[in-house]
């Protein structure tokens, strides 16, 4: 019986050791590209969302075509109703991006409020064999 317990304990220890990565991850394990993220939130004139949507979409399309914006999309609740937006810009200067966003009809007309933050978009470096 003691031999069986000892073998079980040894097997569990071996599994635990096998599950531990060869080394703890460090910043050197990632490739990061700095971006700026803008989040939109319902503003005081959110009721004008549908009325101003076409002009907002023209703004988004233009920024994407100019390569100023990398991604942009609405954020929705569980029912699929829009509750804001998330936009990723190439420019890393927060003030410059804020100036761009000020030209969006949604912002100019109080349909949304917004936040501008820096983001280090990271992914794991490819594993070398």
| DSSP state string for 65-105 | HTTSEEEEEEEE-TTS-EEEEEEEES---HHHHHHHHTTSH
Tell me: pLDDT of 12 over 90: no
The answer to whether 59 and 114 have CB atoms below 8 angstroms apart is no
- Distances in Å between the alpha carbon of 56 and those of 4, 47, 109, 125? 69, 14, 11, 36
The arithmetic mean of pLDDT across residues 9-13, rounded, is 49
Residue entry with tokens 């820096």 = 118
Tokens coding 116: 């501008």
The ranges assigned to domains in the chain are: 27-124
**Residue range 27-124, CATH number:** 3.30.70.1060
CA distance 36 to 88: 6
- Distances in Å between the alpha carbon of 95 and those of 65, 112, 115? 21, 18, 11
**pLDDT value for 19:** 52
pLDDT tens readout for residues 23-73: 788 878 888 889 999 999 999 999 999 999 999 999 999 999 999 999 999
């Amino acid at each position: 019986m003691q031999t069986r317990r000892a073998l079980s304990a040894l097997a569990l220890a071996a599994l635990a050791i096998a599950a531990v990565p060869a080394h703890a991850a460090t910043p050197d394990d990632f490739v990061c590209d700095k971006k700026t993220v803008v989040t939109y939130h319902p503003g005081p004139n959110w009721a004008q969302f549908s009325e101003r949507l076409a002009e907002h979409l023209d703004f988004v399309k233009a920024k994407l075509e100019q390569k100023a914006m990398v991604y942009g999309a609405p954020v929705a609740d569980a029912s699929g109703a829009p509750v804001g937006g998330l936009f990723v810009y190439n420019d890393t200067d927060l003030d410059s991006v804020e100036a761009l966003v000020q030209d969006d009809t949604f912002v100019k007309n109080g349909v949304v409020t917004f936040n501008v933050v820096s983001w280090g978009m990271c992914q794991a470096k490819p594993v070398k064999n």
